[in-house]
Structure 1
Amino acid sequence: MKGGGRRGGGEYGRGGRDDGDGDRMMSQFAQIPTSFGHELRACLRCRLVKTYDQFRESGCENCPFLEMDKEHDNVANCTTPNFTGIISVTDPSRSWAARWLRIGRFIPGCYTLAVSEELPEEYQTVCADNNVQYVPPKR
């Protein structure tokens, strides 16, 4: 592995559990999908995977500013049923796969490996207004 061991400095060496906030990262988990059928959707910003009903009821735990739990049209606009693969992550800050997928700063949960659609422009503006980075999918 380049650069030595698994832990240490750099962007991902900030430590989820031992940074003075107690179990800050581990105290909150995203809902796990209640079924794995055609009703699954992925958030277009963070790629969290849940059912449509779960997004409608509790929104996206990583993207509360998209207000999916308040405005039902936001679920349809900010999520997609078109995605590739699912990965479950219990400790994103220590998972090499989560870092590789750029989800290492999100809360534990189920994520897709890739989405092919972009977040609509008006919601990209909402991200910018909330000082939250949006990275469009690679084409």
Structure 2
Amino acid sequence: MRGGGGGMDDDERVGHAQIPNSFGHELRACLRCRLVKTYDQFRENGCENCPFLDMDKDRDNVVSCTTANFTGIISLMDPTRSWAARWLRIGRFIPGCYTLAVSEELPEEYQGMCQDNNVQYFPPKRP
């Protein structure tokens, strides 16, 4: 993964992110890219946009890098052509389900991991 946008290069791109297999209380959103999946899906496969967060290797990273507190869900089939994806700053991520907003920030140590991987992190906007 390269570049400031945080998206994947064409040769690294996965077809799409896992779609949540349940829409109950077990849904979580990545604090960096806002991808929405279940806790178990993050634990088993990590975040397709943020593999450097190693959520599939360390259960604590899933808890630290995701939240159950988010607002709304949008499904994107072609983020590069979606005005909503551009407005939400997720137009360079892979197709999948995303939250409209999270209220928590990614912990500082993980923000450092973003910097180390030349990936931009945008903290949530404050009301």
TM-score scaled by length of structure 2: 0.89
Write out the 4+ residue segments of structure 1 that deviate beyond 3 Å after TM superposition: none
Please state how far the C-alpha of 1:28 moved relative to its aligned partner.
1.2
Give the SS at the match of 1:93: helix
Going by fraction, where is helix more abundant, 1 or 2? 2
Cα distance in 2, alignment partners of residues 105 and 120 from structure 1: 23
TM-score scaled by length of structure 1: 0.81
Deviations 1:65-111 (A, max 9, x none): 00000011000000000000000000000011111111000000000
Does residue 45 of structure 2 align to residue 53 of structure 1?
A: no
Q: Which residue of 2 aligns with 1:71?
A: 58
Does residue 56 of structure 2 align to residue 102 of structure 1?
A: no
How many pairs align?
117
User: What amino acid sits opposite 1:95 in the alignment?
Assistant: S
Please state how far the C-alpha of 1:62 moved relative to its aligned partner.
0.1
Q: Which residue of 1 aligns with 2:6?
A: none
Give 5+ residue unaligned stretches, structure 1: 1-20
Q: CA RMSD in A?
A: 1.4
Does residue 101 of structure 2 align to residue 114 of structure 1?
A: yes
> Percent same amino acid among aligned pairs?
82
Give 5+ residue unaligned stretches, structure 2: 1-9
Cα distance in 1, alignment partners of residues 117 and 87 from structure 2: 25
Cα distance in 1, alignment partners of residues 84 and 121 from structure 2: 20
User: What amino acid sits opposite 1:124 in the alignment?
Assistant: Q
Cα distance in 1, alignment partners of residues 101 and 63 from structure 2: 18
Task: Give matches, 1:1-139, under 5 Å.
Answer: 28-139=15-126
Give the SS at the match of 1:98: helix
- Of the two structures, which has the highest relative contact order with CA contacts closer than 8 Å and spacing of 6 or more? 2
Q: Which residue of 2 aligns with 1:5?
A: none
User: What amino acid sits opposite 1:115 in the alignment?
Assistant: V
